[in-house]
Structure 1
Amino acid sequence: MFNSRTAILTLYLAFAVTSANAVQLHAGPMVGTVSMRSATVWVQADGATQAWLKYRTPGGKWQHTDKMPLTAAHHYTGHLPVTALEPGQHYEYQVMFDNKPAAGTLSFNTQPLWQWRGDPPPFTALTGSCLYINETRYDRPGKPYGGEYGILKSMAAVKPDLTLWLGDNLYFREVDYGSPLDMPLRYQRDRALPALQALLQTGQHYAIWDDHDYGSDDSNKSFIFKGESLALFKDYWANPSYGMPDTPGVFTKVSFNDVDFFLLDDRYYRDDQTMQDGTDKAMFGKSQMGWLRNALLGSHATFKVIAAGGQMLNDENKWEGWQGYSEERQHFLVWLAEAHINGVLFLSGDRHQTELLKLPRADTYPLYELTCSPITSSSHNVTSAAKNPVLVEGTLVGERNYCTMSFSGPFKQRVMNVKSFNVDGKQLWEKRIELKELTTAK
């Protein structure tokens, strides 16, 4: 007989089945690009759903964004936009899947309107490269290449305002890059690493790629699935832009307070490293370099940080780097001096070692390059690197680590403090670079 107890049990079982099949959060949320009046929140579900955000200033009334379908075509990822915000405000937000909270309450800060009103606020950018997540059945036999994922907890504890991912942010294996049908599996697995989520939920995130998250090891512009790789990158990172309308790629500019970060694409237009050096050999390509020169000329930032996946100023590097494209590099460095572009510093990853290089130049200020690597990949033997004549003493690191760049001080007397930290968050070294050290009178 169908009685009340049966009815209750039936409803309970129906609810249990529905709950078991409900779409869940797969990875994130992660705040990407944020301006003074808008923000973009990246999220990934484990199935198709309608996603949207609730947001408010603390204690204020909740507001809602429009709903966005998360579909299999984009691996159930979405970039959820929040608009009509106010500068310099703290906002709380919740990600909603089909009218149910997918995660707890998180927050982001819009950029402040400081121009013409006072000094730029201090802020900290966290950076690093080479995030290898082990998967034994597809990894090479022997000792695991990745490890010490606890470094991600140490990175999140910094509470950076933004994180710059410098490439090799994941590692495609042989089972991945043979088909664009396989490549999404690597992104989907690695992005959901539990140890990564707290960092993704802290501050803003911007990224470029290098060979391993573009294609195979040392891959160049001939990679036949580079269009699909670029589409994947766009799905999984919420940068302000991706290349230019007539020049595809991942390069972009990120402006944060008084600092411009010029994030370059060192793969999409890259000739192979082994090609004979000469006028036609390029790492970034003519169109991208033209964009960079114009972007630098148009920048009013105090510090101008030029970032790429591989090293740019290290002539002692025996592996991939801009030193193997000498004419393209020399043409740019000569132009940089002649154009009197002040405040420039280079930033790179890839090398599985961290170091700060200082390249002297005649009649102008020296060029620094901070290379920060690896996060969870294995490190390299750094014995030979210690002999580099342009190495800043005490900055060579041959273990897993991450770096921070903190900017502070009055507008025309800004200071950048660069630091390196080990997996436990212990500071390994610190270097103070004053804006006046990167300035040449025109």
Structure 2
Amino acid sequence: MALRRRTLIGSALGAALPGGAAGQSNIDWRGIPRLMQGPVLGPCGPDEASIWTRSSGPFATAIEFAPDPGFSGSRRTTPRTARRGEDFVLVHRLEGLQPATTYHYRVLVDGRPNPDDAGHEPFRLTTAPVLPSRFRLAFGSCARRARYPVQPIWRAIEAARPDLFVWAGDAVYADTPEPEILAEEYRRQRDLPEIRRFMATTPQLAIWDDHDYGLNDHDRRHPGKVEALNTFRRYWPNPELGVQNALGAFFRWSYGGVDFFFLDVRFHRDPNDQPDGPSKTMLGAVQRRWLLDGLAASRATFKVLVSGSGWNDSKPEGADSWASYTFERDLILNEITRRGVTGVLLLSGDTHYGELNCLPWSERGGYDLYELVSSPLAQDTVDLYLAARPILRVRQAFSGDVNFGLLDFDLAPPDPTVGLELRDEGGHAVWPPVQLRASELTPGRKTWPQKIDALSRERWNRAQAGRAYY
């Protein structure tokens, strides 16, 4: 009897082991092939698109796509195997697409549709138009998953139906020099149920700021910045970053007749408290030259400069904004004037309150430059602007709620337009939008007196007379 029992135990152990005994078991020793995060839709051009995925192991992964949601006549990308060294992340390139066309897609893991997408697929994407067109961009910054594990604002952003979304820095709050922790924060943010469909169906483009680069207010001295850049590159399906002779998270993208310049304000940044002057830089010489040459060569009606740090002078010198780098900032804006670059718009984040400001470069021979600031998406709001230096605000700073920015471009009219708007968590406009015409963003045009609201005008006049702004 004892012998019989030992035989049964030995048979059971043998069936539980891999190798030859595994053939007698229903266990799949690889686990369930599936996605852990994603899909995330990257930038879409007129004839191509990129999709980011992270799988549960070294499985062959591909994208099946077709104009038909039933996948009649579908095509597939070449299956590629996710690797452990790349955290099982892949970026898939869909090519040979038609412009301004909606496609439906699903992710195939190990040859089968991702099992966890049942009931959610097919996802959709729309390619970019070839000609200048009408489209909507949404953007925001500062999303702190640890403090805000529920982020309802994404429902409002999705309901606004933007054609693309821009992360203007602090997409996660890693606050660590460790690339493994930074990667973990990206994964936690993408696990939010309220963001998943939006990131799968709306093209995402991203820059970083301090909290997704390293530590608070971190600069070029970050000892792990190359590893942080590799993690950033791995987790965002951006266009190619940097240039041959300069690393960084900066790049250029065009959509619908508008050129976007995404700036890296961390990798080459001198310390904030270094005295300002010709040698102090936020961008580094190579990135600054790349920006200015790109602006001069651009034939787009509008050129949008995206910076994680605010462009205005409200913060004191030594603080974490362009106010501590005014020599370099003014050099850039003066070169825009000197080279006759038209149609420049400024976007930024970081501040934890929304803003719409004007840098009155019409007083320096150029034209008034408008800065729309969206912050935060999911983080505490603050009213530090009450103690800030007075600046030319076109709309009053908004700290009543989390927020996101909208830019509505219409390139069809003879004089193209862009509308600037800020919305709260419920999707409601926090103040009346401002509309700009392309002809107003040309040398010699002073437009802010026609754009500013009554309260902002009153407070600006008061500050100009030497009295308190508030």
Does the alignment reach a TM-score above 0.5?
A: yes
Amino acid at match of 2:80: M
Give the C-alpha shift of residue 264 in structure 1: 0.2
Residue in 2 that maps onto 1:376? 378
Equivalent runs, 1:373-412 vs 2, <5 Å: 373-382=375-384, 384=386, 388-394=390-396, 396-412=398-414
Residue in 2 that maps onto 1:78? 90
CA shift digits 1:25-70 (9 cap, x unpaired): 2222111122121111111223331110111122640111101111
Would you say 1:189 and 2:188 are equivalent positions?
yes
Equivalent runs, 1:326-337 vs 2, <5 Å: 326-337=326-337
Secondary structure in 2 matching 1:30: strand
For residues 204 and 240 of structure 1, the distance between their equivalents in structure 2, rounded to whole angstroms, comes to 12
Residue in 1 that maps onto 2:53? 43
Residue in 2 that maps onto 1:324? 324
Secondary structure in 1 matching 2:61: strand
2:135 to 123, 130, 135: 123
Unaligned runs of at least 5 residues, structure 1: 1-10, 115-119, 135-144
- Asked if 2 retains the 8 angstrom alpha-carbon contact of 1:273 and 1:324, the reply is yes
For residues 167 and 296 of structure 1, the distance between their equivalents in structure 2, rounded to whole angstroms, comes to 22
Give the C-alpha shift of residue 111 in structure 1: 1.7
- Asked if 2 retains the 8 angstrom alpha-carbon contact of 1:381 and 1:398, the reply is no
CA RMSD of the aligned region, Å?
A: 2.2
Give the C-alpha shift of residue 315 in structure 1: 4.1
1:432 to 422, 426, 435: 435
Give the C-alpha shift of residue 276 in structure 1: 1.7
For residues 126 and 441 of structure 2, the distance between their equivalents in structure 1, rounded to whole angstroms, comes to 30
Would you say 1:168 and 2:170 are equivalent positions?
yes
Secondary structure in 1 matching 2:331: helix
Equivalent runs, 1:106-185 vs 2, <5 Å: 106-114=123-131, 120-134=132-146, 145-146=147-148, 149-173=151-175, 176-177=176-177, 179-185=178-184
For residues 409 and 187 of structure 1, the distance between their equivalents in structure 2, rounded to whole angstroms, comes to 35
Give the C-alpha shift of residue 369 in structure 1: 0.8
Would you say 1:91 and 2:94 are equivalent positions?
no
For residues 349 and 301 of structure 2, the distance between their equivalents in structure 1, rounded to whole angstroms, comes to 23
Give the C-alpha shift of residue 377 in structure 1: 0.8
- Asked if 2 retains the 8 angstrom alpha-carbon contact of 1:156 and 1:202, the reply is no
Give the C-alpha shift of residue 386 in structure 1: 8.2
Give the C-alpha shift of residue 313 in structure 1: 2.5
For residues 331 and 409 of structure 1, the distance between their equivalents in structure 2, rounded to whole angstroms, comes to 29
Residue in 2 that maps onto 1:223? 222
Amino acid at match of 1:208: I
Give the C-alpha shift of residue 148 in structure 1: 5.3
Secondary structure in 2 matching 1:393: strand
Cα pair distance change 1:228/1:203, threshold 3 Å: same
The normalised TM-score by structure 1 is: 0.88
- Asked if 1 retains the 8 angstrom alpha-carbon contact of 2:316 and 2:389, the reply is no
- Bigger mean CA deviation after superposition, 413-422 or 366-375: 413-422
Residues paired across the two proteins, number: 412
For residues 306 and 317 of structure 1, the distance between their equivalents in structure 2, rounded to whole angstroms, comes to 22
The normalised TM-score by structure 2 is: 0.83
Secondary structure in 1 matching 2:435: strand
Residue in 2 that maps onto 1:247? 246
Residue in 2 that maps onto 1:343? 343
Give the C-alpha shift of residue 198 in structure 1: 2.0
Cα pair distance change 1:372/1:68, threshold 3 Å: same
Residue in 2 that maps onto 1:283? 282
- Asked if 2 retains the 8 angstrom alpha-carbon contact of 1:356 and 1:396, the reply is no
Cα pair distance change 1:295/1:61, threshold 3 Å: same
Amino acid at match of 2:49: A
Secondary structure in 1 matching 2:394: coil
- Asked if 2 retains the 8 angstrom alpha-carbon contact of 1:382 and 1:398, the reply is no
For residues 160 and 395 of structure 2, the distance between their equivalents in structure 1, rounded to whole angstroms, comes to 25
- Asked if 2 retains the 8 angstrom alpha-carbon contact of 1:131 and 1:377, the reply is yes
Residue in 2 that maps onto 1:55? 65
- Bigger mean CA deviation after superposition, 380-389 or 125-134: 380-389
Secondary structure in 1 matching 2:171: coil
